[in-house]
Structure 1
Amino acid sequence: MSGDIGQDNEALRGDPTHKVVVLSPDWSRALDASAACRFQLRLAREDILEGGTSVFDPTDDRLGPAREQQRRTGSFAGRLRLLPKEGTAFEAQVSVVAGAPAGVEAVGPRDLAVMQYVAERQVPAGLEREWSRHPLHHSPDVVALYEADGTLRYISPSVTDVLGYTPEEMTGKVTIDLVHPDDVEPMIDAMLAVGAAPGPSQPVAFRVRHQDGRWRHLEVMLKDLSDDPEVGGSTVHFRDITDRVEALGASFFDGLTALDGSSAGVANLGLDGRPVRFNDRFSDVLGLPREALLRLGTLADALHPDDRDAHRAELRRVVDGGAATSSEWRVARSGGTVAWVAWTVQRPVVAGVLSDLLVVTVEDVTPRKDAERAWDLLTPREQEALALVVDGLNNRDIAAALHVSIHTVKHHVQGVLRKLEVPDRARAAERIAARVRDDR
């Protein structure tokens, strides 16, 4: 249920600064949340889908009475302590109602609880004045200090050169709404990773809207200091890498023409899984002519129906920034035959930015899969005999190696030929040779 609650709710998927959390009736689980809430409460999308994560500090004595008040009257408003999955609990002014609050579309059954909140300040007052005296205040790189909920408390003057805004225009705002919609989820994942991984953070890149409406590529270094009482938030250093991205991006995609000369089956897919371009070998491996491939809505349409959902899920993981992955799928070729294809898919990073095209390589592994299925048909003794046939041994030598009679060897070999549906030993050895080599 938790994965479907808020899919049609504009409050959850619209304005990224909107703070809405859908709770189970007893407040024990977060069933859905807007991007700003997931950022502040350190909730990855997987945490929401699993439905087992609470957002309240269980040691808060006010929690029980607040829940009881909402149960009796239908609503609660007051201060409670919220607890991120990773990080320090913080005070917030909380409003919880049964069903949808005013101005928010209904998100599910009426017995759900819907929470909105405003976090209280965590960054100590006056800290931004101290930062204004720091040498980094005059750095060409932009330095910023954020509250845990993304409220900007300080930003250095160089932001005007990078994004066109003055520090005064940005301070006090939640700037997640400046991030490109396609980059909000990767940004949240990156923020969560900062708290989870030891050592210095790795730079990440996001597109951020300039004051003139253009999208600028920023290389960002994040450091979570919310546990530090003297800071109480996250520090961010970023620089504009738009020129580098555009230059490298053009050369990168121009270089994809080299795929036409590759002996491997290689293709580019859009982020929706639609084939964009591919070489002839890719078409050959899938057994579909170029015109048929270009008519596909997504590449999943070319697969066996039983493999499509898993294939789409794998693509979504890679599109969302997951590591390159390898798997094997059945392909429904022209003429009704089914082939096995080994598949590797990755989303390249160009100048620190995830590209808008996936790179896919494919290999026809049907002979190996056929050999594996054929091998599994044989008894252990038949497998031993066939492995020795592959090595070139005659019946007498096989009998000696297995310590059985020649008659027994002949019986095993005949069983192999019958199960593999081949006329002689040579064809049996040829069909199974790849499987035997892999096993060794």
Structure 2
Amino acid sequence: MPDAMADSWFLDSVPCGIVACDNRGRVVRANAFFRTLCGVSADQPLQSFHHYLTRPSRVILNAQVLPLLQRAGQVREATLDVQGTGGPVPVLLNGDCDGAGGYVFSLFPAADRRQHERELLLARKELNQSRDYLELAEKLASVGHWHNELATGRTFWSPEIFRIAGLDPESPAPLMSDVASLYHEDDRRMVSSVMETAIRTGEAFSFASRIVRPGSGEVRHVECSGICETDVHGTVIGLFGVFRDNTDAVQFQADLAASESRYRLLADHSNDIITIFDVAGTISYMSPAISKILGYDPDDMIGRHVRDVVHPDDFASVQAAYRGYIAGRQWDDAPRIRYRALHKDGHYIWAEANPTVILGDDHRVAAIQDVVRDISRQKATEDALARASVEANAAADAKAQFLATMSHELRTPLTSIIGFSGLLRDLLSGQDDLRRHALRIQTAGQVLLGLINDILDHSKLEAGQLELDLAPASVAEVVAETVDLLQMQADAKGLYIDIQGVDDLPSPVLIDDGRLRQILLNLIGNAVKFTVSGGVTVTAAYLPGGAGRLKFSVRDTGPGISEAGQKALFQRFSQVDLDTHDGSGGTGLGLSICRQLVELMHGTIGVTSQPGEGAEFWFDLALPDAATEAAGAADHQPGRLLVVDDQDAVADLLVTLLRRHGHVVDVARNGYDAVEACRRSVYDLILMDINMPVMDGFTASRAIRDSSPLNRDVPILALTAAGGSARQQACLASGMNALLLKPVNPATLSDAVALWLSSAPREAGTAAAMAGRTSAHLERDEFAHSARDAQSPLNAQSNEGTRT
């Protein structure tokens, strides 16, 4: 191709306008792009360069472009408008002097240039973004990439490799010859060998090694993989690869291996069987302990089913327990599963399993890890304890039944002894000798009653069955009533009993007044018993800052108690011999029971004494105020009463005591006779014994409530030698209203009858007057406990010779 034609072809292929002008500004040559831009055909002659510009652009050309060309020899990116076929076309003009006074211009359409620049900027932005994403991805994966030119030894590192190596990313990458120094000295020979082989063969390579970070000396575990870069002849000219920081994974594997080793060691040396089986029950691991416990070889158990070692009678419950554990998903609360496990020699032992679930990748239960322990000895001990418990409960029941029977059999005759001796004493006015004999009989009966009460209370306290019956009560009244019971004994010895402070106490307080009376009777009774001259002072006052704690004190002028004697006072079956004139003893339970009662009421009890200076017994209790309705004075109007008791002596005593208050009294010898009497006559109140032949008191009370139109609502008071909440509940359940404990104190009997006769408006002899009597305030049912303890604590009255 001729040179002219070659030049023309080259200029026409350039994507911009090319124009050559002489020194007068005439266009001597223009390429095809320029002609197309300005609308000049190939056969049209070319004119001056000014001709192809708009008028404003001509001014710019003459004023700015040409002077700059003449002065500097070139101009770059001048903005002009060319007269195109469709109107002005903005162009960017570059100009150079041709050395002969002419010029060469290149014209780029501005729109194309701006589009190109925008595309270039967008490409650069995308490239930078890709680099950022690559850098972020490498950082997240702890993976960097590198490139090495073998000819120059120059190395390129991505920022992540700098971080892995512990170097500043802004610092230059080391030469390949210097990279070797980063590797652990024990790994350098291996790394060098791998790289030399790759360069020689051109094959891909990979290795794991350690690097040592400069400065800190920290060792990092890394993995390197790479490929070789070759020229057209297949000669390796460079290396490209990735570098991964694998330290965390290596450490995890090391920790896991150590953990597995420890657990394997524990499993191999554990006294318990450790096993793993899938949800179908197929065993995949068994620890060596099975040899010692069940006699099997651990390897022989692999692949067997767990049912092979479970007693057939236990397998269903064991399977249900495991299934329930898995289905319940309460995996932190694993059950303890007990079953009989089969020993290799054919006998069974008791085992206890404690399972733990093993979850798969899908978070479903993949297997069960079980720890199985031999509990044969424990099970034998538990069985023995269970048998002993049954035997102990049976013995306790027998003891309770015996005590209840003895209580009934002893209290019933005591009712006659104490009651009739009291009547005799009252009837023998003016006959001092006979009155004294009657008093001795009554006192002896009360002493015997005290012994019985001590034994029963001790048994209840020992069994944890003694319950408090809290109700509103007046402390002043309880103290006064207690002193009244002992005043006759004090008078007989010429002693005073002085009460101080009780009138200033608030009333009422919430307390078991019967138990308070029992404690006071014991302490005051002992004081009267051991005091020869002088007397006894009883005080009650709130402790300063005691948050409602009331302190009771019983101080006497007796012989006092030694320090050694004081230590034994509140122990069971202990008696302190004070060398008194009588020398009669007691159970040795009185003060022990007092201590337990005080502690049951969250109080404390103690004694202060010196030999020859008397003694002061004290106790304090928390007694909160209690609001209660003021009970009106008991109505002592006479009424028609029915006494039901199979013991003639008891019935006669009750009739005598009741008739003294003007009551009309009928007697029935058993429950059947009582029911028949209630069908014939209307009664204002019934006193009902419990244990009777033919028909007992419970059955009779229910029959009266169910089938006696005349007495369906009459108050029925139980007479029983057995107390306690269970007996009280049984009485109430049968239709009775309250409970009186034998032996009945005359004053207690009178007050109880008067209270119930006054509990509702009545007209003697009419059943309608009794309507609503059963629904009277239930507080009166609690009278049973007050009545019980009004006389039961007489255990302390005449046990002269020992403090109990």
Task: Give the alignment's TM-score, normalised by structure 2.
Answer: 0.20
Higher-RCO chain (CA-CA 8 Å, sequence separation at least 6): 1
| Higher Cα Rg, which structure | 2
| Larger fraction in helix | 2
Task: Give the alignment's TM-score, normalised by structure 1.
Answer: 0.33
